[in-house]
A and B are shown apart, each in its own frame.
Chain A
Amino acid sequence: MTVRKIEPSYRETKAVAAMVDNTFGYYGGPYWGWKYDDAGGPPGLIVVAEVDGEVVGCNHYLAMDYHLGGRGSVPGLAAGDLVVAPDHRRRHVGSDLSLEGRNVVAESWPEAILVAMFTWRSLGVHYEKLLGYTRVVPGYREWSKRLTWDHKVEQLAAANEHLITKFPRLAGVDHGIRFELKGSPPLELRVDADGFRPEEIGEVPSFELRMGGADLFPAGRSRWRSAVAAAASGRLRLRGSPRAMQQALSVAGAYVEVVRLLLRR
């Protein structure tokens, strides 16, 4: 495998752009063009891995200066869009590309001091060992507001009568649920004989349902299979009081309707 840098004008960039597009879906092609082929954007560097003349992996860098916390700024690089072709995965291509690519970067941009990247934890841990990355302590908080939340909560209140009639077992439960959809503020609901009511859970036995996105249950796929797949990938998490979860299971059908209502676009 050879690792080398290419310019946005090179013929190989077509393969690179296609690879990124296939891997990142919505954030693929148009974003690739904007990031690496925009005349007014920051200077970029594309490093590719080739096997027998075929591009099998790519890694990207953009040059920018970073603030150093009241101590001026230093030139650095934003690293990203590391992709390995599906047929060449699990052969350490990504690691070799990162390591050898960094050598290319050091030659091309000797003035760079910092390299920053955003990634998920499992990959981050790998890169901590490989390239000495460190996960910095976040000094920020993400704030969000679900624009449709108030309307959904109103709909939920209106649906309670129907839920109580359809699921008589609701009369026998009294617990709380903290529903957390990724990127949205949590919604606390009290579940009892009056149905699902948004209010602070307080002291009642409760559990937390955390969902990594609203797209966990795609149409045309079994709900149970989707739930198992989501739980296995960590995108669906359930934790809290076993008693509350046991009660929730007894009214599982009502929960399914509520979650559907909350996630419906």
Chain B
Amino acid sequence: MPEPGDNNNLVVRRAQAAEDAELADLFNRVHAGLAGPAVRTAADLAWRCRRQPGCSDEGAILVETTSGELLGYAFVKDSGDILELVVAPEGPRGRVTSALITACEARAEAAGAERIRVNVPIIDEEVADALAAVGLAPSRAAGRLYVSTMDPGRLAQILASELGEGTWSRPVEIVLSDPLPWQPARSVVGSNESSDLGPTLSMECRQRTLNQLLLRGASPWAALMLGRLRIRPVGKTVAGIRLLKRIQIQAPWFHTLGDVL
């Protein structure tokens, strides 16, 4: 693994299609802590970043050590949109970013692009600093990501199951006051869903409110105060709020330009 500041042992070359599985693994590893990006596979990368109109083999760029250890990769379209910029957590991330961007810029210029652009997670300051150092600046993002659930109660169950056994002494009931035709009005959340004891508490809200609570990290207290969330019995309100806060998705939402379809 090269040391930071050592410029002589990075290899920048074209990423081959046969390496897509390794690239997809790196993508999933780097983005596992974020919400939103689609899980990549070799087939997905080939479709999303190689066969997409405006993509070419020259736009697939990889950085590795002289011993062949993958440090990062990027796919840039002829328009200058960098569909993916992925930098491994190990190694000299700043230099890898700089090498990838320089190669993307050269490719975009050769293809006649007017600009390059790329999405980077806000929490990744190391990559952001490297981008600023090579002349990129933050600009206003074009698209807005909207997310909904087919069944918010089912998502609540999945998120709750991640918390593991022992979190739930007894199940919790979620009631949607305005279920859409395909959504069940009632879901039971908690590891003891089959318990004969019945739910300890019941939360009732609109499906949109539940989506906001789960996906956007909206404040359950605010929802309660505004009358958008009801918890029964009232004596269990604090426990209900605490549970909601635990199952909310708090991770930052992110998407690459390759996720914009």
Contact = CB atoms under 8 A, between A and B. Distances in A.
A181 to B, nearest CB: 9
Nearest to A144: B117
Nearest to B157: A113
Contacts of B137: 143-145, 185-186
Given A65-B38, A69-B250, A137-B217, A143 B131 contact: yes
B35 A106 contact: no
Interface in A125-158: 127-129, 131-148
Given A113-B154, A142-B140, A136 B53 contact: no
Nearest to A117: B146
B19 interface: no
B216 A136 contact: yes
Interface string A73-88: 1101010100000000
Contacts of B36: 66-67, 69, 116, 136, 139
B142 interface: yes
A220 interface: no
A72 interface: yes
Kindly state the interface size class of chain B when it binds its partner. 35 or more
A53 interface: no
Contacts of A184: 115, 139
A99 B148 CA distance: 13
Q: Which of B136, B143, B249, B253 has the most CB of A within 10 A?
A: B253
B7 interface: no
Interface residues of A, number: 69
Interface stretch (A12-20, A27-35, A193-201, A239-247): A27-35
A202 interface: no
B207 A132 contact: yes
A68 B208 CA distance: 19
Nearest to B53: A30
Contacts of B208: 128-129, 132, 134
B146 A127 contact: yes
A6 interface: no
Given A34-B51, A124-B146, A134-B146, A102 B136 contact: no
Interface in A103-129: 103, 105-107, 112-121, 124, 127-129
Given A116-B36, A185-B136, A34 B180 contact: no
A210 to B, nearest CB: 8
A161 interface: no
B148 A132 contact: yes
A105 B148 CA distance: 13
Interface string B110-143: 0001111111111100001001001111111111
A180 interface: yes
A136 B215 CA distance: 7
Contacts of B123: 139
A70 B32 contact: yes
Contacts of B152: 132
A78 B261 contact: yes
A41 B136 CA distance: 32
A161 B249 CA distance: 57
A244 B142 CA distance: 28
Q: Which of A68, A99, A134, A180 has the most CB of B within 10 A?
A: A134
A102 B179 CA distance: 13
Interface in B182-232: 182, 206-208, 211-212, 215-217
A131 B150 CA distance: 9
B149 interface: yes
B84 to A, nearest CB: 13
Given A67-B31, A137-B217, A145-B116, A118 B138 contact: no
B148 A131 contact: yes
Nearest to A180: B140
A128 B207 CA distance: 11
Contacts of B117: 142-145, 183
Q: Which of B109, B115, B121 has the most CB of A within 10 A?
A: B115
Top 4 nearest A-B pairs (CB, nearest first) are A139-B252, A69-B251, A185-B137, A69-B35
28 contacts: A38-B47, A40-B43, A64-B39, A67-B34, A67-B35, A68-B35, A69-B33, A71-B162, A115-B148, A115-B149, A116-B147, A118-B145, A119-B146, A121-B144, A124-B144, A133-B147, A133-B148, A134-B208, A136-B36, A139-B36, A139-B251, A141-B138, A143-B128, A145-B115, A147-B113, A182-B139, A183-B142, A265-B114
